[in-house]
Amino acid sequence: MPINRFKTDEGFIILRVEDKLVASTLATLKNSLDLAIADTNHKVAVNLEKVNAMDSIVAGFLVSRYKASSKKNGTLALCGLSPAMKKLLGEFCEEIEDIVYKTEEEALTAIVQKEEKNNR
């Protein structure tokens, strides 16, 4: 499962994930995502547009990292999910609309808006 990671000039970390997100590939995702959210006040977007399958173990993991991210005053957003993946995540998280965005651009915009709201 390839994960392309890069940091923008604005300080966003973007992870673009491909292929399947299932229990057998969780370690790779865990390492990449845990590194991305390690710093306080992080701004991370995970693009799942090229993911063709996700199981409940990974969905639960993503929700747990969203919650851990919030505790560190960071922001984690997911984008590019299929309707089935979004529905699966919704089974683990009531705040699904605060996490999932259609495009990477929408996710990054939402991160900026959340950051501005928190700084008021």
pLDDT digits (tens, 9 = 90+) for 90-115: 998 888 888 999 999 999 999 999 88
* pLDDT score, position 17: 97
Write the CATH number for 77: 3.30.750.24
85 contact partners, CB below 8 Å, separation of at least 6: 48, 51, 54, 59
Helix (H, G, I), strand (E, B) or coil at 84: helix
Rounded alpha-carbon distances, angstroms, from residue 47 to 78, 81, 88, 116, 117: 6, 8, 16, 22, 23
Continuous segment of H or E residues that includes residue 43: strand 43-54
How far, in Å, CA of 18 to CA of 4, rounded? 9
Name the amino acid, one letter, at 76: L
Domain, as residue range, for 85: 3-118
Mind listing the pLDDT tens digit for each residue in 28-55? 999 999 999 998 889 999 999 999 999 9
| Dihedral sign from CA coordinates of 49, 74, 43, 103 | positive
State how many domains the chain has: 1
Query: For all residues of the chain together, what is the average pLDDT?
Result: 93
